[in-house]
Amino acid sequence: MQSVARRPLSATAIRWWTIAGLIALWEVAARLFGDPSFVAPPSRVLLGLPGLFADPKVAAAIGMAGLEMVIAFMLAVIVGAIVGVAIGITMLGRRSFFPFVLLMWGLPQVVVLPLVILIFGLGPVSRVAFGFTHGVLPVIVTTVTGMRSVSPLLLSSARSMGASQAQILRHIIFPTMVATVFTGLRLAMSLTLLGVVLAELFVSSNGIGNYTQIFAETFHPDKLYGLILVLAVTAVILNELVGLVEKRFSRWKEG
């Protein structure tokens, strides 16, 4: 009797099995060795989520944080792409301005927070602005880097055949830099979320960042982990949306 060959596990199945194993390990370790005042098992966190969203203040804070993050991320993408193209379109622009961008990216963003508060005050605008400062620089850097990766031979060939600058951007530069730019978008999305949450720790008394601090100080690990789970799920959803857009603009690679 001929044996049936087993199909190898796909990358997606391996990821899900790994996540399931880590969650099971966390559940067992938290129940056997964890202090309930500091560690909550995943089952307790999931059971506590309805109560977390039942609090209108916490629910409003989660919704506001999500809105602020989306606005900051969209602004970072638009401004970062425009500035990146403006700097990277010519060798002179890259040599003149790209070092300043790298210098600003190396600056710890937390030192910019007092300036953001001074300019925009203590409202949601300052949180959006601080998230924007975290996300815009990766978009600029990856846009310029992607434009630098374009083959000079392709550019010279296109110009010799009479292609306009807009045609070169659309048909040569943009397709070449898609992978690099979307890597920057994924990084910018994570950093934007970080910037919004950090800003809420300092400039908001009813934001999600403030509630994470309250739950930590009052020994409610289930609520604290619940908020972290919500932020993680939000980041995953946005990351998947960026991935879908990337696939849409990478169809020319198929086949």
Q: Pick the range with the lowest mean pLDDT from 93-102, 111-120, 172-181, 193-202.
A: 172-181
- pLDDT exceeds 60 at position 211: yes
pLDDT of residue 33: 84
Q: Which of 89-103, 186-200, 235-249 has the highest mean pLDDT?
A: 186-200
144 CB-near residues (< 8 Å, 6+ apart):
84, 87, 88, 94, 98, 101
- In this prediction, residues 29-34 reach a mean pLDDT of 84
Helix 174-203 vs helix 221-249: crossing angle, to nearest 10: 160
Helix 124-148 vs helix 174-203: crossing angle, to nearest 10: 160
* pLDDT bucket at 251, cuts 50 / 70 / 90: low
- pLDDT exceeds 90 at position 255: no
Would you give the DSSP letter of residue 25?
H
Residues 76-129: pLDDT tens digits?
Answer: 999 998 888 888 777 777 788 888 888 887 777 777 888 888 888 777 888 888
Report the b/e string of 8-21 with b at 16+ CB within 10 A.
Answer: eeeeeeeeeeeeee
- pLDDT exceeds 50 at position 1: no
Length reported for the chain: 255
Of 137, 152, 138, nearest in space to 182 by CA: 138
Residues 51-79: pLDDT tens digits?
Answer: 777 888 888 888 888 888 889 999 999 99
Q: What whole-number percentage of the chain has pLDDT above 70?
A: 93
Cβ atoms 109, 195 nearer than 8 A: yes
Residue 234 burial by CB count (10 A; 0-12/13-18/19+): exposed, middle or buried?
middle
* pLDDT bucket at 201, cuts 50 / 70 / 90: confident
Q: What whole-number percentage of the chain has pLDDT above 90?
A: 4
Side-chain half-sphere CA neighbours of 166 within 13 A: 0
Q: Which CATH number fits domain 42-249: 1.10.3720.10, 3.40.50.720, 2.102.10.10, 1.20.140.10?
A: 1.10.3720.10
Residue 57 burial by CB count (10 A; 0-12/13-18/19+): exposed, middle or buried?
exposed
pLDDT of residue 6: 61
- pLDDT exceeds 80 at position 184: yes
